[in-house]
Chains A and B, each alone.
Chain A
Amino acid sequence: MLKKTRNVNLYIMLFIITLFQLVCLFTLLFKAEDEHRLNIFVSFALYILVEYLYFIGTRLILKRNGFEVELIAFLLTSVGLTITASVYPEATMKQFIAVVIGIMGFVALQWFMRELKPCIALRIPVAVIAVGLMAFAVVFAEYTNGARNWIYIGGISVQPSELVKVAFVFVGAASLEKLQSNKSLTKFIVFAFACVGALFLMHDFGTALIFFFTFVVISFMRSGDVRTILIVCTVALMGGLLILLFRPYVANRFAAYGHVWEYFDTSGYQQTRTMIYSASGGLFGVGIGNGHLREVFASTEDLVFGVVCEEFGMIMAGAILLSYVALLVYSIRHAKYARSTFYAISACGASALMLFQAALNVFGVNDLLPLTGVTLPFVSRGGSSIICCWMLLAFIKAVDRSTYRYGGVRQ
């Protein structure tokens, strides 16, 4: 069945994507103020260079054939980079550097996962570091926009929960690799509980939900134990209700949900503006830099989907949504042929996580779900977020057997 699927032609796709990136770049340069032009040009030129180095390197040296996953990621990342450069031109270089770190993490994690053994061996240390990082964040993180999940290290702000997402998928898949027993599931439940609990303490409910969802996907994939998962879900639901009951300010944060137009200038401000400007964009958008949603708070992060609708148009927005679906479909289809359950589970977990996060983001700003303030994978501005996304992509890449077939890494 897998044999039948044809790989997309790398060079045609690369040509199309490059064309898109060049159009974005020239529009940006045309609109930008003089002082930012060089910054934007260098960032984009280097980004395209990195992109070509990656593709040519993996094609010619590692002799790989399939590039669907990376093409999607490079395209989405360039949309995000364009929006960042357009709204915050001074932050372009910083975002570009984060992208490069992310791509390096992507390559490194792929390389590391070429063999199963070290992955299994590292699961406990990674889990410990992850929990430690979360605990550190709970204690030392500073409040930013109602959530306490930022740590400042030497002038650079880091969101530990983003990095822990990668660890979470890794630990989840690795700890459930060997034993198909309730014991290992219990261990994972404890680990998941620690992470989700920490996020609650940080008031980052959106990310807590993402972790919980990923936990459910991973534990279901491994154990198939519907009963235990149902119990965990019920407990979580009751816990959630208790929180809403005893911490009314949590419920207040979501008070506008479902009727944002009644909170037009208060708690529904971001959602209503997103909808107004999304509708203004039409199918093809008003053009990069011509939108007004960019003036609204968090336009490049939480509301970035609205900016895409307004400036790039609904067709592009739809294509972005389908990208996340494509990543999950890719994982599901390759899971069958994966070398080990670790690869199958981690790929499905990572791609399901991104799909769920995209859903929270996109449906949140359009008032189909409560607004939780999570980022749109690959597109939202933010270093930790983009690094996390690229590293999660490594799991998806690793599930494909052909990734490790050539180039002498492993036959």
Chain B
Amino acid sequence: MKSISRRALVLYSIILLFLAGCGLLFFNLISHSEEWAMNKANKHLYNSGSLATAGDILDVNGEILVTTKNGSRSYNDDKSIRIATLHTVGDSSGYIASGVQSAFKNEITGYSLKDGVYNLQRYGKGNDITLTLNAEICKVAYNALGNYKGTVGVMNYKTGELICIVSTPSFDVYNKPKDIHTDTSGKYEGIYMNRFFSGLYTPGSTFKIVTAACAVENIPDIYEKEFVCNGKIQVGEGYVICSATHGKINFEEALNKSCNCAFAKIAEEVGNEALTRTAERIGFNGLGFVINDKINCSNSKLDLSNAKLLDLGWAGIGQYTTLINPCQMLTAISSIANKGFAVSPYLVSQIQTPNGREILKGETIELGQYFTEMVADELNVLLRSNVKNRYGDNLFPGIEMCGKTGTAEISDNSEAKPNGLFVGYSQREDMPFAIIVIVENTNSSMSSAVPIASKVMKAIKNEYTQ
């Protein structure tokens, strides 16, 4: 009997193996729970691969952007709003990965490891997500963009709330183009990408704001300096070409007129290191924002490590290999408006369970000081003078607009049309909004990006001020 009971003890090793297997089983189940439960084959959530049952997404005014009706997703009744908010809200099939419906899958379905999909079972819907987005402003921006590809983003520079995000090309979820995956003409290029979060653009002259900031920080007598523009200027072993022949001009006029000669010289004077330092402080070469800890942004790049003097000159006017991400650039511009303090952009203001419990609240998060208050003040004056003296306050009536345009050459091929950009903000206390407009393949920023910014800012003024 003794030997039998001793041998029986060996069976404990079988039990240990079994328990180890159970441990692995539950470890897998718990660590993959979200990934597995969110699988498109899960009929609790999906119907033929489309999200079917989930919570609502609302805009800042409580306008329902998407909800669940009769077991399928039902979007806003206004076609323009549907198209304008597509990339932010996301599609039911999950093609738009940065859309809230995809990025906040767990939250919108109310899934949790503890309850599984039980809340869907119980309430017939998931958690409701309220965005900082204003659907009407998005609609204005979308209509203003017209047939252009590009993006418009508007952010409250004091709080970080993103009130407008539009990315084109876009489509109506109720009427998705049949040829969207077969077309070869390029008209749907990047249609599933939210250009505002994921795009990377050559900044062109909008980068002169960074160069100017660097100059104010590093050249004590910058305002006394005089630049000579003959339509081109030698930097290092080549020439930087200017858009016009500006003659003798000072720093402020150079920014107003966006003189390449002057800014190439400024870049040369401040040098690689100082320019890189300024750019990296305001977010270049970093990790990129993660909006509400869920939506990843691309990040702006300025790499001058192998730049020759001529390259530095081109970089100073926003060419060379420099790339900006619209969301990051908007945040940097916002910090100028906000006395040098940057706030983190966010999109989701609240997530609420079906029984009214708030499980997430979007809050203003300070990113730190991008500029000293003094430098921010000086840039503020310079950018205000751009609009007042150059683009015209009549485009932004009563808005106290500041800004800078940019026309970015995107190819050596002279037939390729450049991109038009505008970044700016209102100085008015009651409309603390900064805007970025990027229009692809256009003739000039003045004829494309600026009028779009004008329309959007006017709509914001109507909506937000008395």
A contacts, CB < 8 Å to B = 217, 220-222, 224, 264, 272-273, 275-287, 290, 292, 295, 309-310, 313-314, 318, 321, 324-325, 328-329, 331-332, 335-336, 338, 341, 344-345, 348, 352, 355-356, 358-359, 362-363, 366, 368
Contact = CB atoms under 8 A, between A and B. Distances in A.
Given A275-B32, A355-B15, A368-B25, A332 B8 contact: yes
Given A278-B29, A324-B18, A344-B4, 4 more contacts: A221-B8, A275-B36, A281-B118, A309-B29
Nearest to B32: A279
Given A264-B41, A276-B36, A280-B116, A332 B11 contact: yes
B33 interface: yes
B39 A276 contact: yes
Interface residues of B, number: 40
A341 B4 contact: yes
B114 interface: yes
A280 B111 CA distance: 8
Given A335-B5, A366-B28, A284 B115 contact: yes
Interface in B357-396: none
B44 A280 contact: yes
A286 B43 CA distance: 13
Which 6 A-B residue pairs are closest in the complex by CB-CB distance? A282-B116, A336-B5, A279-B36, A279-B37, A279-B33, A335-B8
A300 to B, nearest CB: 18
A286 B33 contact: no
Contacts of A272: 39, 41
Interface in B108-123: 111-118, 121
Contacts, number: 134
A336 B8 CA distance: 8
Contact of A283 (B11, B37, B43, B113): B113
A332 B9 contact: yes
Contacts of B111: 280
Given A284-B118, A285-B116, A359-B18, A344 B8 contact: yes
A280 B37 contact: yes
A309 B116 CA distance: 10
A260 to B, nearest CB: 11
Contact of B11 (A217, A282, A318, A336): A217
B116 A279 contact: yes
A181 B88 CA distance: 77
B21 interface: yes
Contacts of B10: 220
B447 interface: no
A314 B29 contact: yes
B245 interface: no
Given A221-B4, A325-B18, A332-B11, A318 B42 contact: no
B112 A328 contact: no
B465 to A, nearest CB: 48
A282 B41 contact: no
Interface string B39-74: 101111000000000000000000000000000000
Given A220-B10, A224-B3, A344-B4, A282 B44 contact: no
Interface string B86-119: 0000000000000000000000000111111110
B14 A355 contact: yes
B19 interface: yes
24 contacts: A221-B7, A221-B8, A224-B3, A224-B7, A264-B41, A273-B41, A275-B32, A276-B37, A281-B117, A281-B118, A282-B114, A282-B116, A284-B118, A286-B118, A309-B29, A313-B116, A325-B15, A328-B15, A332-B8, A336-B1, A345-B4, A356-B14, A366-B25, A368-B24
B219 interface: no
A341 B26 contact: no
A285 B121 CA distance: 10
B180 interface: no
B464 interface: no
Contacts of A358: 18
Contacts of A282: 112-118
Nearest to A325: B15
A283 B7 contact: no
B11 A328 contact: yes
B21 A368 contact: yes
A335 B5 CA distance: 6
Nearest to A265: B41
Contacts of B244: none
Contacts of A321: 18, 22
A325 B13 CA distance: 12
A188 to B, nearest CB: 16
- Of A273, A278, A328, most buried by chain B (CB within 10 Å of CB) is A278
